[in-house]
Amino acid sequence: MAKDTKERILEAALEMFSQNGYAGTNVRELSASLGLVKSGVYKHYESKEAIWNALLDQMIAYYADHFGSADHLPPVPDSLEALTRLTMRMANVTVHDEKIAMTRKVLTLEQFRDPRARELATKHFLTGLTDMFTRIFTGMTEKGLLKKDDPAMLAFAYTAPISALIHLCDREPEKTDEAMAQIEAFSRHFIKVYGEAGHE
């Protein structure tokens, strides 16, 4: 039961932080949203900062499990078409998984306030994605699927536009279908430019 309450507190905190930011969220309102008194929350977390840090820890683990990371890589694609399928699977997860979408909003809001949020925002929005695709593209080059080029530069060129389109989905959800179509079209264009012929 205690574990369930701790989870419920973090779920509610994620929702409130993603809507109101850290400063705009208070423990009294968080408690009330769960049908608890403040002492009921403080029984599990000693402060709002403790809730925040537990939430960041949970975000890191959840993102790695559901999206992937440089340490938790998806299999290297066996074809160029498989790269587009992998990309679309990852894009769909990051856009449509409510927890990941809220996490992205929290990090966007809090990156200027909290050093740990800033570090996670850089990792999730830039370096982590680039590192993951550097390893994927290294593997695809070794399989003869991609032209020989600097895999880190290829990864940067591939992930930056996709990341920008995912942020567009956060800002303007009504453009999600259009953005997802653009991601798929971009992946196929990238393959035409960098893919080795005969490996579709």
Each residue's pLDDT, cut to its tens digit, for the chain (200 residues) gives 456 888 999 999 999 999 898 899 989 899 999 988 888 889 999 999 999 999 988 888 888 777 766 677 788 999 999 999 999 999 999 999 998 888 888 999 899 989 989 998 898 888 888 999 999 999 999 999 999 999 999 999 999 999 999 999 999 999 999 999 999 999 999 999 999 875 55
Domain range list for the chain: 1-55, 67-200
User: Domain 1-55 class?
Assistant: mainly alpha
Q: What is this structure's pTM? A: 0.83
H-type alpha helices, the chain: 2-20, 27-33, 38-42, 48-66, 80-96, 98-110, 115-122, 128-142, 151-171, 176-194
C-beta pairs of 13-19 under 8 Å, 24+ apart in sequence: 13/51, 13/52, 13/55, 14/55, 14/59, 14/99, 14/102, 14/103, 14/106, 15/102, 17/52, 17/55, 17/106, 17/109, 17/110, 18/102, 18/103, 18/105, 18/106, 18/109
Report the CATH fold assignment for 67-200.
Tetracycline Repressor; domain 2 (1.10.357)
